């Protein structure tokens, strides 16, 4: 098995990134934070990549933070603890800010910061029997990685509080019922389904999709007036882009649009 904390491979226009810490059920580490953040930056700069799929080796997405490492942070100052935590938060920002769609493919567990990482992705494919948990309270800790922000977009304050206070485990089926899962699969099929979804979106207009991703990211927190303004700004810029010319021409000519030659174009 590759010793790198992150395994990377290409599937056509889709970049597959695999969390690779099987001995600790793919627990997170500073090395993984750096590797994933760098991989997302490289994906964003590569016009040949249209989408990213994030998953884990050995049928486990991510069991959360490495408790052996977290136990050692008691010895650090508050400033040093905060510095360590920013690695995780930089990773979450990198997922949310990447112009390319990022798709989580979840098998096994997505607990603690692993849940945060899955929910940070733009799209989520999960096996029915995948297990999710906010988890932190079980070890006397509090949520990080945006877990409370992402869950608050899905559920009421009461349900959010219950999930965080109990740390109870819930299935892919329940997360699907909450509205967070785009594709619910049979066990073992999440990565395959995510790759199919990735290939579908990777064929789309890259600049328009980047704008759409930004709008969708802002929408839950924005006022209507603020969102209308953002929509207007993106629309008027998109109308002048070659992607719109190709897309509209293809529609009028009753053919499939081909955006592949435009992937390296600027917005």
Assess contact for 129 and 171: CB atoms under 8 A: yes
Q: Name the residue ranges covered by the structural domains of the chain.
A: 6-202, 206-262
Per-residue pLDDT of the chain (267 residues; tens, 9 = 90+): 458 999 999 999 999 999 999 999 999 999 999 999 999 999 999 999 999 999 999 999 999 988 888 777 788 888 888 888 899 999 999 999 999 999 999 999 999 999 999 999 999 999 999 999 999 999 999 999 999 999 999 999 999 999 999 999 999 999 999 999 999 999 999 999 999 999 999 999 999 999 999 999 999 999 999 999 999 999 999 999 999 999 999 999 999 999 988 876 544
Fold of 6-202: 2-enoyl-CoA Hydratase; Chain A, domain 1 (3.90.226)
- Could you tell me which residues are beta bridge partners of residue 103? 53, 123
Fold of 206-262: Lyase 2-enoyl-coa Hydratase; Chain  A, domain 2 (1.10.12)
pLDDT number for residue 85: 87
pLDDT number for residue 3: 81
Tokens 């090395």, located at residue: 31
C-alpha–C-alpha distance, residues 13 and 45, integer Å: 13
C-alpha–C-alpha distance, residues 7 and 3, integer Å: 9
C-alpha–C-alpha distance, residues 68 and 257, integer Å: 52
């Amino acid at each position: 098995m590759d010793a790198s904390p992150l395994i990377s491979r290409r599937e056509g226009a889709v970049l597959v990134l695999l969390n690779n810490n099987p001995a600790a059920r793919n627990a997170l580490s500073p090395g993984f934070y750096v590797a994933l953040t760098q991989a997302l930056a490289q994906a964003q700069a590569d016009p040949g990549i249209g989408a990213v799929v994030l998953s884990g080796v050995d049928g486990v997405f991510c069991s959360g933070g490495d408790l052996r490492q977290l136990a050692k942070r008691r010895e650090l100052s508050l400033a040093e603890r905060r510095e360590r935590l920013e690695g995780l938060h930089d990773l979450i920002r990198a997922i949310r800010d990447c112009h390319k769609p990022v798709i989580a493919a979840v098998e096994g567990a997505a607990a603690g910061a692993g849940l945060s990482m899955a929910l940070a992705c733009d799209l989520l494919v999960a096996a029915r029997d995948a297990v999710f948990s906010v988890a932190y309270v079980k070890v006397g800790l509090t949520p990080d990685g945006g877990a409370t922000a992402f869950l608050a977009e899905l559920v009421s304050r009461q349900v959010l509080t219950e999930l965080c206070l109990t740390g109870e485990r819930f299935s892919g089926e329940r997360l699907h019922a909450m509205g967070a899962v785009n594709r619910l699969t049979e066990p073992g099929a999440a990565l395959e389904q995510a790759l199919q979804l990735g290939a579908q979106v990777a064929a789309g207009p890259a600049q328009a999709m980047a704008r759409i991703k930004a709008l969708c990211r802002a929408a839950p927190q924005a006022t209507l007036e603020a969102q209308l303004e953002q929509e207007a700004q993106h629309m008027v810029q998109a109308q002048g882009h070659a992607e719109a010319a190709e897309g509209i021409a293809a529609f009028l000519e009753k053919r499939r649009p081909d955006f592949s030659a435009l992937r390296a174009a600027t917005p």
